[in-house]
Amino acid sequence: MIHSLFLINCSGDIFLEKHWKSVVSQSVCDYFFEAQEKAADVENVPPVISTPHHYLISIYREKIFFVSVIQTEVPPLFVIEFLHRVADTFQDYFGECSETAIKDNVVIVYELLEEMLDNGFPLATESNILKELIKPPTILRSVVNSITGSSNMGETLPTGQLSNIPWRKAVVKYTNNEAYFDVIEEIDAIIDKSGSTVFAEIQGVIDSCIKLSGMPDLSLSFMNPRLLDDVSFHPCIRFKRWESERVLSFIPPDGNFRLISYRVSSQNLVAIPVYVKHIISFKENSSSGRFDVTIGPKQNMGKTVEGVIVTVHMPKAVLNMNLTSTQGSYTFDPVLKVLTWDIGKISPQKLPNLKGIVNLQSGAPKPEENPSLNIQFKIQQLAISGLKVNRLDMFGEKYKPFKGVKYITKAGKFQVRT
């Protein structure tokens, strides 16, 4: 299956390599570099590249290319999903999945890779098991280690691997037992020029942070489970209970994990929380254009829309922009031609507006297209679909846990065409 892995940074340095079978020379990456050069940008490097003797399957995460070398037929998604799992594990262990973090913790990284694959086939990918095998670094521990010479390697044997609940550590103990659920919903939308919705959909996840001792068996129920149209589950969830009763019943992993992802059924009309008024125009035979954007809250259900950021990819001919904003600050990157307007909270009384002149390269033809506006926002304490957690019950343990649910709505891929 997976033969080797190379980690490559944006400047093309191979800063880590790991082989699970015979060693494959670094020169195989030349094919990757070739493809990278051909692609206009990092986003367009094809994830699967065929070379005379190998296949290269890669992902791009946090400015790092994870390039795996394959020799025989294997489902590409299998490899891609695994590589993402590797990146997630690094994130989980080091707090970030950056080149520096990987270089600083190269031994742990190596140990992790060793445990995650055996002969190229995934062995242990559950965070809970890995953490039992290899302890994540903490500042305190690294200080202690450097003094005492002790290690990050778990002294205990990884019993979790043998258990029937492979996602949960065997012995978990907390003084404060807590279970938190974050219901996070994202609105994906395409709004057309006239302001009508071309496409809108709500995608949600429930991220959990569970710190409960022993072997708790939880069941989480909703007031309106019918809203959930398409759900994907963490392996801990009992599919049958969901099918029959629409209750999420599970023995949770320890720590942070994504419990479910869901899509709200498309029959429900999606309430779009903001509206945008925009005039972006370029004059024929003149080297300037007009830019005027106002953004305002719509059905916000009494909640404030905050964290609003508008990003616009301007046409290539744009040299710079002279704008004034009534609220927030804007920046224009003349190299990438990206305008970013950081607004913050929107108050309905005074709508934020950004307007001014766009300067074009002299002599360049009038851009044919108008750029689209990408909007980000957040609404606290609101799940836009109306999804509500009903209750959380715990079985199997005697103590009373502290329970909490938080709702938040965000813009997902939210685009306004102009």
Partner 1 sequence: PVTCRHDDLKEMLDSNKDSLKLEAMKRIVAMIARGKNASDLFPAVVKNVACKNIEVKKLVYVYLVRYAEEQQDLALLSISTFQRGLKDPNQLIRASALRVLSSIRVPIIVPIMMLAIKEAASDMSPYVRKTAAHAIPKLYSLDSDQKDQLIEVIEKLLADKTTLVAGSVVMAFEEVCPERIDLIHKNYRKLCNLLIDVEEWGQVVIINMLTRYARTQFLSPNQNESLLEENPEKAFYGSDEEDSKDDKPDAASLVKRKPYVMDPDHRLLLRNTKPLLQSRNAAVVMAVAQLYFHLAPKAEVGVIAKALVRLLRSHRSVQWVVLQNVATMSIKRRGMFEPYLKSFYIRSTDPTQIKILKLEVLTNLANETNISTILREFQTYIRSMDKDFVAATIQAIGRCATNIGKVRDTCLNGLVQLLSNRDELVVAESVVVIKKLLQMQPSQHSEIIKHMAKLTDNIQVPMARASILWLIGEYCEHVPKIAPDVLRKMSKSFTGEEDIVKLQVINLAAKLYLTNSKQSKLLTQYVLNLAKYDQNYDIRDRARFIRQLIVPTEKSGALNKYAKKLFLAQKPAPILESSFKDRDHFQLGSLSHLLNAKAVGYQELPDWPDEAPDPSVRNVEVPWLPTLRFSLSLSFPDPESVSESESESSSSSSESGSDSGSRGEESGDQSEEEEEEKKKKKKGKEGPRKVCPESAGRYHRHWRGEGAGSATSWELRNTSRDMGGLQPISPCLFLMPLTPSIFRRDQLITSQPQHVPTAFLPPSAQMLSPVFSTMKTYELLHRMAGEGLSVEYYFNRQPFPPDPHMVAVQIQFSNNTESEVKNLRVSEPKLVSGMRIQEFQEIGQSMVGIDTCPQLPGVNWAGSFSLWHVSSSTHSRQFYVSIQPPVGELMAPVFMSENEFKKEQSESAMLRSQPDPESCRRGELR
Residues 393-412 that bind partner 1 (CB under 8 A): 395-396
The residue (of 107 and 143) whose beta carbon lies closer to partner 1 is 107
Our CB check for partner 1 shows the closer of 126 and 327 to be 126
Told to check if 110 binds partner 1 by CB under 8 A, we report yes
SS3 category, 347: strand
| Min CB(312)–partner 1 separation in Å | 10
Counting Cβ atoms within 10 Å, is residue 46 exposed (0-12), middle (13-18) or buried (19+)? middle
Which window, 199-207, 270-278, 288-296, 352-360, contacts partner 1 (CB under 8 A)?
Answer: 199-207
| Residue 357 in contact with partner 1, rule: CB under 8 A | no
22 touches partner 1 by CB under 8 A: yes
Which of 173, 240, 398, 400 touches partner 1 (CB under 8 A)? 240
Q: What is the DSSP string of 109-176?
A: HHHHHHHHEETTEE----HHHHHHHBPPP-HHHHHHHHHH---SB-SS--GGGGSSSTTS-S----SS
Task: For the chain, state the CA radius of gyration.
Answer: 25
The answer to whether residue 136 forms part of the interface with partner 1 (CB under 8 A) is: no
Q: Is residue 255 close enough to count as binding partner 1 by CB under 8 A? A: no
Interacting stretch for partner 1, rule CB under 8 A, among 52-60, 284-292, 301-309, 327-335? 52-60
With contact defined as beta carbons under 8 Å apart, do 20 and 29 qualify?
no
Strands 402-416 and 178-191: parallel
The yes or no reply on residue 78 touching partner 1 (CB under 8 A) is: yes
CA distances to 80, 158, 172, 205, 218 from 85, in Å: 9, 20, 24, 18, 25
Reference 228, options 415, 383, 408, 381; nearest CA is 383
Q: Please name the helix (run of DSSP H) or strand (run of DSSP E) that holds residue 402, with its range, or none.
A: strand 402-416
Q: Which of 164, 175, 324, 349 binds partner 1 (CB under 8 A)?
A: 164
Task: Give CA 302 to chain center in angstroms.
Answer: 28
Confirm or reject binding of residue 315 to partner 1 (CB under 8 A): yes
Using CB under 8 A as the binding rule, the residues of this chain from 80 to 109 that contact partner 1 are 80-82, 84, 106-107, 109
With binding defined as CB under 8 A, does residue 19 bind partner 1? yes
Q: Judged by CB under 8 A, how many residues of this single chain contact partner 1? A: 108
By C-beta, is 119 or 380 nearer to partner 1? 119
User: Of 285-304, which residues contact partner 1 (CB under 8 A)?
Assistant: none
The verdict on 196 binding partner 1 (CB under 8 A) reads no
CB 183 within 8 A of CB 392: no
Residue 150 vs residues 109, 129, 131, 396: alpha-carbon distances, Å = 18, 21, 17, 36
Q: Is residue 249 close enough to count as binding partner 1 by CB under 8 A?
A: yes
Stretch of 186-194, 272-280, 300-308, 353-361 contacting partner 1, by CB under 8 A: 186-194
